[in-house]
Amino acid sequence: MDPQIELLKNTGCRLLLVLPVVLASGCSNKIGPDYQTPETQVSPDWLESEDTRVSRKEGNFREWWRIFKDPVLNKLVETAYSQNLPLQVAAVRILGSRAELGIATGNLFPQQQGFEGQTEKISLPFLRDLGLGSGNSLWYTRVGVMSNWEIDIWGKYRRAIESADAQLMASIAEYDDILVTLTADVANTYILIRTLEKRLDIARHNVETQSESLRIAEAKFHGGTSTQRDVEQAKTVLAGTQATIPVLEAQLRQAKNTLCYLLGMPPDKLDQPLGSGAQFGQIPAPPVQVAVGIPADLLRRRPDVRRAEQSAAAQSARIGIAKAALYPAFSISGSFGFVSTNSQGHSLGDIFNWGQHFYRFGPSVQWNLFNYGQLTNQVRAQDARFQELALGYQNTVLKAQQEAESALIGFLKTQNSAQFLAESTAAAQRSLDLATLQYREGIADFTTVLTAEQDLLKQQDNFAQTLGSIATHLVGVYRALGGGWQIREGKDFVPEPILQAMGERTHWGDLLKPGAVSKTPPANLIRAPDW
């Protein structure tokens, strides 16, 4: 056997024996920092924990809106969950992140493969120098396959998988955060609609009362027992109250338009979804006590906190990717094929005879030593970005506590305010009844009646708005505590019609099947490709 061929075979065998060792050593090394959750400051308890209306028990955060015991609200939340378009956009973004993870996983395997083939015509002088013949030229043909595999010695590709895992978890947290906001927005908009309906009912009822006062003033004027001033004052108050009705009607229509958008439908009057009759103007009544758990629960329940942490983890892995570029990249490349020529009685048609085969196999090293600080500054830039996200995570934790405390104090203090407003509203009604009776009997002047009417309208309207604020503040409590996203557990992120359309348009393999998107990243970074 040709000594050169024997040497080539021996070298190839040695490399094949060394390759598993190299891969094993590479799997134990990862350049760059391992992610550690940034330290945060979390209050041990709520500021209002001594209030009997605050319970530290774990509440029903999965479907918190059911505490209002309003079937219309329950149905609206279900509709928004199934039809809201921004939520579906976030769901599709999860599939995109899952595909990006597949790209990162595929880089662990031979990165380049291909076919090569060429035909050359070699001229006469060159042939003579090689002693291959005396003709004018010969033809030379070569076909084969080639492959190149950069071994993940420094963990560059495994850091990329680590980063893609965290980015996928961040996209799921983003979906959950949108779902938390969606359920709260639907509830708040519904409460606003019912509050505006109640205020409209109050305004219309006061128009009836003030119209009756105007009739009395006109009757007394025509009877000669009062002046024209009483009539004009009555008209002034009545017209002022009537002017509030179109404003409230416009606000009501705008709130319904907002609700339609949240439900993923064009603007509609929503007569059927909202109901009518006894449900009109019925502001959802929240319970007196609220179960909030403990502040530390925010770190595991609030999606925006989880998203901030996963984004920081993804960026931490990118530091390792950038650092790996500072070290040499080891690759193994090889090719196999057939070659033929028409010299010395051979034919190009003999190309696929086994005796015409050739192969090449060997390592290569690429090391960008002279990068003029570019690679080092890439690492610095990635590190600065990580520090930015780490601080962002700490800020998100503080903001979560601030929002929860603010919503909680608002819920409690608005309840206190409602108690006083209930008393003032009842007193204002009694004052108007007495003033009207005294005016009819000539004991009091008409100004007393007008003042009482204005006070009653103001107190009733404030009371209605305060009842709506109590419910809104409670919604804010559950939004701040990260409730509502749990309703997607056990369900696919993307609705079936969208999955079907995507599957018909593009080959997604198994990524559209149930369970293809894991809610937690696998522990092992070495995985099979997603074909």
What pLDDT, on a 0 to 100 scale, did the predictor assign at position 26?
Answer: 46
Given phi > 0 = left and psi -120 to 50 = alpha, else beta, which region is 233? alpha
Give bridge partners of residue 110 from the DSSP assignment: none
Range of the domain at 90: 48-108+152-328+367-505
**Is 353 domain-assigned?**
no
Q: How many structural domains is the chain composed of?
A: 1
**Is 29 domain-assigned?**
no
Distance CA 256, CA 24 (A): 62
* Residue 376 tokens, joined: 């080092």
Place of tokens 């995570």: 393
**Is 160 domain-assigned?**
yes
Number of Cβ within 10 Å of residue 113's Cβ equals 11
* Residue 174 tokens, joined: 């983003």
**Is 433 domain-assigned?**
yes
Distance CA 237, CA 295 (A): 50
* Residue 61 tokens, joined: 């955060």
What pLDDT, on a 0 to 100 scale, did the predictor assign at position 84?
Answer: 97
**Is 206 domain-assigned?**
yes
What pLDDT, on a 0 to 100 scale, did the predictor assign at position 318?
Answer: 96
Distance CA 158, CA 143 (A): 34
Nearest to 340 by CA among 362, 329, 317, 356: 356
Q: How many helices (H) and strands (E) does the chain have?
A: 12, 6
**Is 519 domain-assigned?**
no
> Could you say which residues of the chain have pLDDT below 70?
1-28, 121-138, 140, 276-278, 342-350
71-83 helix and 85-106 helix, angle to the nearest 10 degrees:
40
Distance CA 525, CA 417 (A): 57
Distance CA 207, CA 243 (A): 10
**Is 83 domain-assigned?**
yes
What pLDDT, on a 0 to 100 scale, did the predictor assign at position 28?
Answer: 57
What pLDDT, on a 0 to 100 scale, did the predictor assign at position 277?
Answer: 61
* Residue 182 tokens, joined: 């969606």
User: For position 427, which CATH number holds?
Assistant: 1.20.1600.10
**Is 213 domain-assigned?**
yes
156-222 helix and 374-440 helix, angle to the nearest 10 degrees:
20
* Residue 229 tokens, joined: 């001033």
The string of pLDDT tens digits covering residues 328-378 is 999 999 888 888 776 665 665 667 777 777 788 888 888 888 888 999 999
Nearest to 161 by CA among 529, 512, 519: 529
Distance CA 316, CA 34 (A): 7
